[in-house]
Amino acid sequence: AQSVTQLDSQVPVFEEAPVELRCNYSSSVSVYLFWYVQYPNQGLQLLLKYLSGSTLVKGINGFEAEFNKSQTSFHLRKPSVHISDTAEYFCAVIPGDSSYKLIFGSGTRLLVRP
């Protein structure tokens, strides 16, 4: 069964520093990959998604992610974070077998300090 691993439960970083949130998925013939953000007391909001084509995907709020098929990874990056980026970030996958299920990772809490 498809699974998603986010090894870092929390990532503390200073404001204006770069950040990378790691995501690995179990191998499959094809997958569709997503990053969602959850601000405190809110629902999830789509940051970006990879369906096909260019392996570098740009999303909202200056975030980007790179799909690496050989390493089965989809890490999220931002060159300079803001206090307002403090939130929970979820990596998710839809297997390419026409399943409608979004399978989520356990989440990474990004804590941006001044």
Q: Which is nearer to other proteins, 6 or 81 (CB)?
A: 6
CB contact at 8 A, 107 and 10 = no
In angstroms, rounded to a whole number, what is the distance separating the alpha carbons of residues 47 and 68?
18
Taking CB under 8 A as the criterion, the residue among 21, 107, 108, 112 binding other proteins is 107
Residues 6+ apart with CB under 8 A from 114: 14, 15, 83
Binding mask 48-77 for other proteins (x = CB under 8 A): -x-x--------------------------
**Chain contacts with other proteins (rule: CB under 8 A):** 32, 36, 41-46, 49, 51, 90, 94, 98-102, 104-107
